[in-house]
Chain A
Amino acid sequence: MSALPQAKTLPGHVVCDGNEAAAWGVVLSRPDMVAVYPITPQTSLVEALAQFAADGTLDTEMVEAEGEHSVLSVLQGACLAGARTYTATSGPGLAFMFEPYLRAPGLRLPMVMSLVTRDTLSPQCVWGGHQDAMSVRDVGWIQVYCESVQEILDTVIMAFRIAEHRDVMLPINVCHDGNYLSFGVCRVDLPDAAGVDAFLGKADTNWHVALDPDRPMGVDPLTGGGGPGAALFARYRKGHCRGMQNALQVIVDTHRDFGDRFGRRHAPLLEEYRLDDAEYAIVTIGSMTGAAKDAVDEARCAGQRAGLIKVKTYRPFPLQAMVQALARVKAVGVVDRSVSFGWNAGPVFQDVLGTLAMLPQRIPAVSFIGGLAGADLTPGHFARALETTAQALAGAVPIAPVWLNENDR
């Protein structure tokens, strides 16, 4: 109900954790419907939304569903009826909503979901890790990963505009790390509500497919099989891929406009850190990046020509941006907070390997895996990653991934 006046005057800044920051982003984005089911480490996000709704700070249709499967299903019905929608989940919750989750991008529903990342079972684990998000990296959702609490708030807002852009029309996961970002507290600035209203515009979710008696249509009839069906199916799939590719430019434009309006700039696809004259670099994703930048600074002080590439947008994969970044270095190490079991490596590492095929010359690459199950990734771990990458540049390339927390005590 974007036309309604904001119920309450919002503060200019708050001190809060990443989960509450996401909830403030939701307040400012004014979705018509929020559906939630609590799950660690997302729970305090849900509680914050419930309190905001109870206080009248958030004017939305709140659905306290009986599980994540229904959470996403309720929102899909709402989205098809024209609602701007939001939810958040983690790990097992994501697994449980997998069936409707698979369906949202194919219906081209511009839904926004925070994914408070968590390692998957088993071993039984409630702590942070990217395994949940990485397990769904190729089912057609946009995925962006935040580095800081402020970036969570800002990215939740931007996510609605990216998802609802008519060249995109895809659901988006705004990922923030369980524990380190979900519960890490700092000061965040809130953009002004009227400015966000102008930035987002009115909800625009079902112009292409709707459940609306004023525009009756059959939504998602059987498609495929014989006759023209297979070709129609192929065109839907191809259109989905095109929407993903379109998202790259829309993400860039949206970040630029957000920076112009509100004065805070975040790297949209990749961030290059001290890469200009670097000989080698490490690739990071999510909240680990802060410690990694410290390690790069230390290495620079020690005379090493080290740099860093941070992945913000992971799906669609920013291939051209990664090609340009990697073209500057002679060796790369990739630090993943999750595992690709089929490759005995990290998933981001796989993407980097794919990118290397686009480069004129082959450079050595190393897979690092760390930060699983809430393990801390310290500047010390990154110093080791940088050192190992430097050795790879010198010719000693590990043939298996390096498990950074394997011998932590």
Chain B
Amino acid sequence: MAAYETIAFDAARCTGCGDCMSACAQEKTGGFDHAASRIQILPAANDGFELALCRQCGDPGCVSVCPAAALEKDAASGVVRWDETKCIDCLLCTVGCVYAGIAYDERTGRVAKCDLCGGDPACVKACGEGALRHVKSAQIYNRYGELEDLFVPGLAGCQGCNTELLIRHVLRAVGPETVVAAPPGCIPGMGTVGYNGKTGTKVPVFHPLLTNTASMLAGVRRTYKRKGRDVTALALAGDGGTADVGFQSLSGAAERGEEILYVCVDNEGYMNTGMQRSGCTPYGAWTSTTPVGERSHGKTQEAKNLPLLMVMHRCAYVATASTAFMEDLYDKLARAIEASKRGFAYLHIYSPCTSGWRFPSQANIEVARKAVETGFVVLWDYTPDAGLRFTRPIDDLRAVDEYLEAVGKYRHLDAAQVAHIQAQLEKDLGLLKELAVRGAQAEARALA
């Protein structure tokens, strides 16, 4: 399968300094003539800047118009390669590309285009503003794509739900020496455990009670460990069974340091049974048990901060993650799997619910991204040694309105409620920052 890498451009961060073009020219020609750079930063029509650069497209227009087969997509690297020996200099490719990603170079009389510098682009390194980013997440998808998919095709999730993506990739990473606990909720509701004798999973899978996921897994893991077998005990649980009725068994297992990989897929309520409130439902949210009426307007209490509670259990690993930031998620998944071999690992993944949160089914990842970009969801991880650290920037968060407006369950909020949410987010972030500072200090001490 082809790798799809590209260089992403954040126009809001670009100052037009031209360092990227200098770096490219230096790399490719030894000089500093911006005209020789294969990346071009140009003044945009409405102020700011825009990018002219090869995107290394998956279905490249330049390749399809080339009459000499001088351009081709490299299956291994994903780079669109130009073969100067085949090129007949017809320039059709410059017309075929809508990104101005391949251009005529007057000095050589031939076309030139970005080749990603062999996987370490000079322009990205030169950008001091963070406006250019070498995106390699597709490589992760490829790597995961080669691992066995341990769920059957056609799990019956709601349209646009990200949980199928999550559980497939988690199980690919964990592998077949695994026992999966899927307590009642959306995940077994999709058919993972099965129905009337048929199952949707290729590894051992079971319904624990809603209340005893962590306990049952503890028994499984300990029994195999006693027998000398390394079997991963994996929970794929919802927030309701984790934060509410299953919390005692979770807390007990974490306190005892049971070797479990506990993945909580947080869709902020009991979505599988028709969107009832849970302890993880945020303030102000509509659910079927925190409805909007004359006297009340959604949930009146804050959500329980479950991942922080797990930090207080001194788990071997705790992290929050989002499907809008898959590289971050994969990194945490790898750490969590490793930690689950020596202690309790807890991964809290935010899972916007297209059905229960009232937003269009194509907007799941967008909603998830906005949650992070507004600080409604903060991505961090924790280990007892390194403490808490942020894994996404928290300095330039946007106003929470942007997130709330994207989600129908907040449609009824008045200005006071929105202000309340914004204020609470800032308080929560303040607490996280304090913990992160402590973590950084601890790390510094450890290094010293």
Q: B199 touching A63 by the CB < 8 A rule? A: no
Q: A221 touching B216 by the CB < 8 A rule? A: no
A-B contact list, 12 entries, CB within 8 Å? A63-B219, A66-B249, A66-B251, A66-B256, A69-B211, A73-B209, A73-B212, A77-B216, A77-B220, A78-B223, A213-B178, A219-B204
Q: A217 touching B199 by the CB < 8 A rule? A: yes
With A213-B203, A216-B202, A216-B203 as given contacts, are A33 and B211 in contact (CB-CB < 8 Å)?
no
Q: B196 touching A70 by the CB < 8 A rule? A: no
The yes or no answer to B433 lying at the interface (CB within 8 A) is no
The A-B contact count (CB < 8 A) is 158
CA distance A219 to B181 in the complex (A): 10
Q: CB-defined interface of B38-69 with A at 8 Å, one 1/0 digit per residue?
A: 00000000000000000000000000000000
- A215 nearest CB neighbor, chain B only: B204
Q: A67 touching B195 by the CB < 8 A rule? A: no
Q: A218 touching B200 by the CB < 8 A rule? A: yes
Q: CB-defined interface of B141-181 with A at 8 Å, one 1/0 digit per residue?
A: 00000000000000000000000000000000000111100
Q: A66 touching B195 by the CB < 8 A rule? A: no
With A73-B249, A213-B178 as given contacts, are A227 and B196 in contact (CB-CB < 8 Å)?
yes
The yes or no answer to A321 lying at the interface (CB within 8 A) is no
Q: B196 touching A77 by the CB < 8 A rule? A: no
Q: B206 touching A220 by the CB < 8 A rule? A: yes
Q: A221 touching B199 by the CB < 8 A rule? A: yes
Q: B212 touching A70 by the CB < 8 A rule? A: yes
Pick the residue among B193, B222, B252, B255 that contacts A33 (CB under 8 A). Answer: B222
Q: A77 touching B248 by the CB < 8 A rule? A: no
Least CB distance from B194 to A in Å reads 3
Least CB distance from B176 to A in Å reads 6
The yes or no answer to A172 lying at the interface (CB within 8 A) is no
User: Inside 8 A of A213's CB, which chain B residues have their CB?
Assistant: 176-179, 203-204, 231
The yes or no answer to B226 lying at the interface (CB within 8 A) is yes
The yes or no answer to B197 lying at the interface (CB within 8 A) is yes
Pick the residue among B176, B215, B226, B231 that contacts A69 (CB under 8 A). Answer: B215
The yes or no answer to A92 lying at the interface (CB within 8 A) is no
Scoring A66, A76, A221, A222 by chain B CB atoms within 10 A of each residue's CB, the highest score goes to A221
Least CB distance from B204 to A in Å reads 4
Least CB distance from B3 to A in Å reads 31
- A103 nearest CB neighbor, chain B only: B209
The yes or no answer to B224 lying at the interface (CB within 8 A) is yes
The yes or no answer to A93 lying at the interface (CB within 8 A) is no
Least CB distance from A32 to B in Å reads 6
Q: B255 touching A218 by the CB < 8 A rule? A: no
User: Inside 8 A of A99's CB, which chain B residues have their CB?
Assistant: 209, 211-212
- A-B pairs, top 5 by smallest CB distance, nearest first, are A218-B199, A77-B219, A66-B252, A221-B194, A73-B215
CA distance A63 to B231 in the complex (A): 18
Considering only residues 227-263 of chain A, those with a C-beta below 8 Å from chain B are: 227-229, 232
Q: B248 touching A81 by the CB < 8 A rule? A: no
Scoring A73, A76, A99 by chain B CB atoms within 10 A of each residue's CB, the highest score goes to A73
Least CB distance from A84 to B in Å reads 10
User: Inside 8 A of B231's CB, which chain A residues have their CB?
Assistant: 81, 213
CA distance A75 to B222 in the complex (A): 10
With A69-B248, A232-B197 as given contacts, are A219 and B218 in contact (CB-CB < 8 Å)?
no
Least CB distance from B366 to A in Å reads 33
Q: A221 touching B211 by the CB < 8 A rule? A: no
Q: B197 touching A223 by the CB < 8 A rule? A: yes
The yes or no answer to A390 lying at the interface (CB within 8 A) is no
Q: B193 touching A220 by the CB < 8 A rule? A: yes
User: Inside 8 A of A66's CB, which chain B residues have their CB?
Assistant: 248-249, 251-252, 255-256
Pick the residue among A70, A78, A216 that contacts B204 (CB under 8 A). Answer: A216
The yes or no answer to B354 lying at the interface (CB within 8 A) is no
- B189 nearest CB neighbor, chain A only: A222
Q: A232 touching B196 by the CB < 8 A rule? A: yes
